[in-house]
Structure 1
């Protein structure tokens, strides 16, 4: 079964000490001072906690775990162990009240509530602090049908605060939820020292007037306090900004925010540099005295549809600049479901399945705790190095480098600042401390002079876009348990250290030569030659657990898998290098690239491994002449031959190989136009959205039958007021960096961007923007005239520095829509460009929608 998990080691026996019963637990262990700062009761230090949301006890996660036959308690233990490995010290969850209440608001004792109690206990054993949001307002169906029967199934958000029956149900529910006794911790929820605060409800929807909003917030906060709870009470202020005064006037201790900087549910992985989107988190009422008196937390944040390991550290830093003291990502994927990313298609984070992104969460947590509240930084890209951290979009790398710890998300040339003082190392890829041949994450922790604990996760290889439509029957990441080369360069360990397996079933004993050894996934004791280490066993205490703990997914039983996207173009007369991801091939196997000029000459080329699961070959220039090159990958393994795409038996040269699947790349003459966007070819790779609530996009056909993108400005009405003249109402964004890479020799010859466009009567202005790898933007107007289809030529010399339009639109809506990098960016260098935006500006709205149709954009 593809979802089978391996959990070895004694996860039940933990070392985390419990608070003494009755030790003023009912007062909680944090408070909000008069300046709005959340502080610990003991010592009065400022709170700074960073972590995740995690939803296994409820809704889709709960159902899917059951559908896969997974032991839910074991799943929770696995995931909480991994969260602890990632340094998480904060957990937040909007409780699906619809699954643990009736329509009157009475708490229902059922398996959802029991599993939540179990999760709370496991988190507390790991020292992870908790904020619960008892009322979610959501039903439980997404992405399936709703089945919840609690009060939220009959009262929508719009009436939840005005309908007397709904208000009474919520009041009753809050009272019973806070007075619920957890059978594992033996604590009432309002007394539990591990639960440090409560957020009343999740993302409420309010409208004017403000009076009922304040009255409802006060009543719900009062219901919590009436139980005897003196923990801080938080309330959402970001979801309904039009009534923010009502929340600022409410008798609550703190305010909550969310951040989705490039929107949600793009349907595919977003590419390009999104660091400008997270360079700041400005709050519009930050100077209001009422705001300053309240604590601030981010209950949810995520770089949705982005798997790059660079976003979280910047988001953590920006939250701290904004004064937030708690931030929890939404939502960490359960290990048992992460192979398919079905829980929330737009989110993807799991230590085993997205190792680099997970290590970036570890680094972000350290940044959140190290950066001072309110600390200000220079604008990106100047602030890509801050405190002990470095973030590089170009290298796809985040790092933390302190004397005690060295963390990195990928191979790096950075050297640790104090190698002899290191106590913790975590990363993927290779560094000056660890050279590892696999793709999984690894951790090194010093136990004593010359003795370290090494943990290695299995190889994880992306085989599909994780943000496209998902299914439990469709893995998006393949897990492989391989023996991989490892070389350590720890001064106190030396080159001939011993390696001893610690996790259950791991009986490895080996001695390194020249610092090199081979390892499989598991936990190991690393000891310098001659260092007595027999006293360290799997049961030896380690942090909040034991040395032998290990959790990892079983190998994905799929066989060899291939992932590849052909280049958009090849240049005639130039060799064509092709790189393909292939799993399941060993050194004894043969991997070939079969290349053919369409119905012409065919050549079989050996492919060389350039890294784990990566193979490359170069099609000779003689085969790359104008026309079309099509190609296949052939794997010969154990007497069998497989051909990709498709994993079909046999090979293209066989007389009966009848499968039409192949890859192909058009071959063009040097200097030929380079398409940046074609509506027909790129519709699934582009982001096309309305920018405000007056705009939207659609696809239409031209009179010739070609596909065109339609940018639309809708008519204004009471609910959708007219946009300011020239303000963006709809936009296209598309990444073209990969297209540019294959035409580097031609870039100097291009003089203009040519837009094939049809403007509708009365439509607003059209603007082009080219954004670089450093997030600098250059814009030029498109001088359209008349209502007919036309090719409009915009000289590259016309592009001038301009603020970068942040599309897809950041959420919440009070966040800025543009970003201007500090300093003068200089003239546009085409070789640095990677993103095209086409923006429709607002015109005075008429009765009918105003449209502009866009068929293509190219460099010529």
Structure 2
């Protein structure tokens, strides 16, 4: 029985261990041996190159060990696809000759490790990128250092260098596997170059692509060659007519580099991925892949599964997220500020990637789905924005990204479970991910990751000197209710240094992070050792970052308003405080009465206190959090010694919130205060945004219309809005939830100039229903009142604008006939194009916004 079960216990239905691929007559990528369709899902990962390489060196990290650790985590997340654009600028000279250096050696090493974990590979040999971002370029030797994207395809010297490089790269022999890149069965295809920038005439593009394909084929390489068709749509015909065997796409549905975490229901942005070439026979008879995708600036663990579903509906057979953060530098999210994904540091989002991989392999290629509903349930999956939850539930597997009450479909048949939070089978207060894999009847492998505690916005400016997530190795109770396990199961540590041996009481055991064999009482588990190989991993493997060596921190954001006359709960995240430490909220009504309120420890990392109504009369509440450890007090914000109640406590830092009476206006947007929590900009190159001062000296957001483009912008809609403001306000409305039914109007202080078009207001709910009203502004700064009754069901603009630009611009779904304000969470202000040219040649139509209030 052990031999029958163990080999598949941890498996993620891997692709063939060694099998080439081919494209059939209908344009479907298939495995040579089984003839089955290829459907692979994974990540990009960049440690051998560029900033990642330098950051590891700066921190004194052994790069081979770092790769080993990260590839283990990728395997644990069920990844079976890896792609990277090779930084040719670091491994070639200006003539395209390959340099035998550390970057190339580490790529070889990475390929070897991926192969050992049964992860298939597609490489993009030409990146065209410099190697600096987010720093300056440094020590570049290759042809891309002198030939930028816009010249690389029509400069003869550049073309010859690329031909030379492609031949040498395909003929490069991996020093660890001994295989030529062009013959390695686990490198199943190549994409020629990364995001090329082309312009008319198309003949130059066609000539370049043909020469690149010819150079690759001249080596004897026979597997598929893919080419990007999404980046330069003005020359799409050249790519469609080319001899390549497949096409590549990317998807950044929330744009890139927002500078802060995006809030609100973003699922409409990933409801579908329509391709403009889908009916073109030159396109439909060739396979397609997604070389990069990401829900940029979003931590919600709900985006990836719907993205995977949309990809499969669009016919994709490969999709790789960009980019998985290396464990050694993920604490700071410095590699790509707008991306953040790591099993240890973003556990819920990482598990959503695991679930997305299951979606990608489960959904049939081309399978249609309806538009995004309130809670999306399909096949064996559930995605819920309201619950912040992605979920997979089959008889054998149960995965979830947040606490869930869903009952497993068939508990007695369950073989694999993974989650964060709690479920009917697992109760756990920690914030890290955990995995349970059945090894035999009544015997399971349990892997518990340490707590990940967010302490800064990971999408704001980052630095290796500034952690955005802290790691804590807390010992916490874990309760299991697995069929056949019983309530007095035994637990034995497996990973290196883990000597724990114990027995559960009432189904509960207290554990540190690590790997354990969990068995029903009386089961003999001697056969399961740390070296036992199961699937692609050894049972004792465990990779987790060390505890973050920082003092105690308290993280809290003050509410915009507090309602007068009602008790209010204030919560904080606590990192580095022991279970025995006591916490107090010191609350003061400005210079009035002061109270020290004990805080309740909800978990080891969260605490809350109730501010009584007698402190909450109209005015200003100032408050602090005091942590007492071994009799010594430390006060936050700031982490200062002492307490605000001490006569000589000198620091001035504190949190504060206005206390407002019923009927007070609620700010949805104030230009002078909200720059870091709103999204602003242009739409498809038609506009942009800035901040200016108005005549009364107040700061105002200015939305502007761009001058006409010299050439048509592909896929642009001339009637679409030119610029936008997107403001999330659900957190502000929540503090006044009992008054939501009393608000009657939006009051906007603004003006428009230089012949600007009308403004459109859109309020969207948490279920993505949109309500629209038009508003007219004069040339002078004034208050404009828009009754909430004027809002009618309509479409929201998909913001920030998705990329590529051929993706849908708007989304509409059914909702109540009238605006349900209590469910509203986002305001959009859209500047429509001017009906006539601006009165002056150098004038740009604009809309200025000082503030927007609910009243």
The TM-score by the shorter chain falls in which range? over 0.9
Aligned pairs for 1:168-567 within 5 A: 168-381=160-373, 384-567=376-559
Residue aligned with 1:728, SS: coil
- Looking at structure 1, the residues matched to 590 and 222 of structure 2 have their Cα atoms a distance apart, in angstroms, of 75
- Looking at structure 1, the residues matched to 279 and 736 of structure 2 have their Cα atoms a distance apart, in angstroms, of 50
Aligned pairs for 1:694-705 within 5 A: 694-705=686-697
Match of 1:808 in 2: 800
The CA deviation string for residues 545-571 of structure 1, in whole angstroms up to 9 with x for no partner, is: 211001000000112111111111011
Match of 2:106 in 1: 115
Match of 1:853 in 2: 848
Match of 2:740 in 1: 747
Paired residues of 1:439 and 1:612 also in contact (CA < 8 A): no
Paired residues of 2:15 and 2:80 also in contact (CA < 8 A): no
Match of 1:774 in 2: 767
- Looking at structure 2, the residues matched to 613 and 19 of structure 1 have their Cα atoms a distance apart, in angstroms, of 40
Please tell me whether residue 792 in structure 1 is matched to residue 787 in structure 2: no
The CA deviation string for residues 601-622 of structure 1, in whole angstroms up to 9 with x for no partner, is: 1110000012341111111111
Q: CA deviation at 1:241?
A: 0.9
Unaligned runs of 5+ in 1: 1-13
Please tell me whether residue 756 in structure 1 is matched to residue 746 in structure 2: no
Paired residues of 2:704 and 2:845 also in contact (CA < 8 A): yes
Q: CA deviation at 1:694?
A: 2.3
Paired residues of 1:610 and 1:616 also in contact (CA < 8 A): yes
Aligned pairs for 1:122-141 within 5 A: 122-141=113-132
Match of 1:30 in 2: 21
Cα 1:551/1:312, change in 2 over 3 Å: same
Aligned pairs for 1:85-124 within 5 A: 85-124=76-115
Match of 1:54 in 2: 45
Residue aligned with 2:800, SS: coil
Paired residues of 1:692 and 1:728 also in contact (CA < 8 A): no
- Looking at structure 2, the residues matched to 383 and 153 of structure 1 have their Cα atoms a distance apart, in angstroms, of 49
Paired residues of 2:374 and 2:768 also in contact (CA < 8 A): no
Paired residues of 1:102 and 1:150 also in contact (CA < 8 A): yes
Paired residues of 2:754 and 2:844 also in contact (CA < 8 A): no
Residue aligned with 2:544, SS: strand
TM-score (norm 2): 0.96
- Looking at structure 1, the residues matched to 229 and 298 of structure 2 have their Cα atoms a distance apart, in angstroms, of 26
Residue aligned with 1:715, SS: coil
Q: CA deviation at 1:448?
A: 0.8
Q: CA deviation at 1:627?
A: 1.0
- Looking at structure 2, the residues matched to 725 and 350 of structure 1 have their Cα atoms a distance apart, in angstroms, of 41
Match of 1:8 in 2: none
Aligned residues, how many?
839
Aligned pairs for 1:628-647 within 5 A: 628-647=620-639
Match of 2:641 in 1: 649
Paired residues of 1:94 and 1:202 also in contact (CA < 8 A): yes
Match of 2:821 among 830, 855, 858: 830
Q: CA deviation at 1:434?
A: 1.1
Q: CA deviation at 1:220?
A: 0.6
Q: Which moved more, 1:536-545 or 1:149-158?
A: 536-545
Aligned pairs for 1:582-621 within 5 A: 582-621=574-613
Q: CA deviation at 1:382?
A: 5.6
- Looking at structure 2, the residues matched to 19 and 672 of structure 1 have their Cα atoms a distance apart, in angstroms, of 61
Match of 2:60 among 61, 69, 88: 69
Unaligned runs of 5+ in 2: 1-9
Q: Which moved more, 1:710-719 or 1:750-759?
A: 710-719
- Looking at structure 2, the residues matched to 735 and 805 of structure 1 have their Cα atoms a distance apart, in angstroms, of 14
Paired residues of 1:221 and 1:252 also in contact (CA < 8 A): yes
- Looking at structure 1, the residues matched to 712 and 693 of structure 2 have their Cα atoms a distance apart, in angstroms, of 28
Q: Which moved more, 1:252-261 or 1:212-221?
A: 212-221
Paired residues of 2:690 and 2:701 also in contact (CA < 8 A): yes
TM-score (norm 1): 0.96
Q: CA deviation at 1:706?
A: 1.1
The CA deviation string for residues 173-210 of structure 1, in whole angstroms up to 9 with x for no partner, is: 00000000001111000000110000000000001111
Cα 1:701/1:506, change in 2 over 3 Å: same
The CA deviation string for residues 561-586 of structure 1, in whole angstroms up to 9 with x for no partner, is: 11111111011111121011112223
- Looking at structure 2, the residues matched to 299 and 549 of structure 1 have their Cα atoms a distance apart, in angstroms, of 30
Q: CA deviation at 1:663?
A: 0.3
Paired residues of 1:713 and 1:845 also in contact (CA < 8 A): no
Match of 1:4 in 2: none
Paired residues of 1:260 and 1:303 also in contact (CA < 8 A): yes
Q: CA deviation at 1:725?
A: 6.1
- Looking at structure 2, the residues matched to 417 and 88 of structure 1 have their Cα atoms a distance apart, in angstroms, of 24
Residue aligned with 2:217, SS: helix
Q: CA deviation at 1:747?
A: 1.2
Paired residues of 1:714 and 1:845 also in contact (CA < 8 A): no
Residue aligned with 2:182, SS: coil
Paired residues of 1:716 and 1:845 also in contact (CA < 8 A): no
- Looking at structure 1, the residues matched to 596 and 725 of structure 2 have their Cα atoms a distance apart, in angstroms, of 40
Paired residues of 1:726 and 1:764 also in contact (CA < 8 A): no
Residue aligned with 1:551, SS: coil
Q: CA deviation at 1:86?
A: 0.1
Please tell me whether residue 842 in structure 1 is matched to residue 837 in structure 2: no
- Looking at structure 1, the residues matched to 790 and 15 of structure 2 have their Cα atoms a distance apart, in angstroms, of 67
Q: CA deviation at 1:293?
A: 1.1
Cα 1:787/1:721, change in 2 over 3 Å: farther
Q: CA deviation at 1:714?
A: 2.1
Paired residues of 1:725 and 1:841 also in contact (CA < 8 A): no
Residue aligned with 2:635, SS: strand
Match of 1:690 in 2: 682
The CA deviation string for residues 13-67 of structure 1, in whole angstroms up to 9 with x for no partner, is: x999x999xx9x8xx6111112111100011100000000000000000000000
- Looking at structure 2, the residues matched to 189 and 532 of structure 1 have their Cα atoms a distance apart, in angstroms, of 46
- Looking at structure 2, the residues matched to 443 and 561 of structure 1 have their Cα atoms a distance apart, in angstroms, of 29
Paired residues of 2:746 and 2:786 also in contact (CA < 8 A): yes
Q: CA deviation at 1:483?
A: 0.4
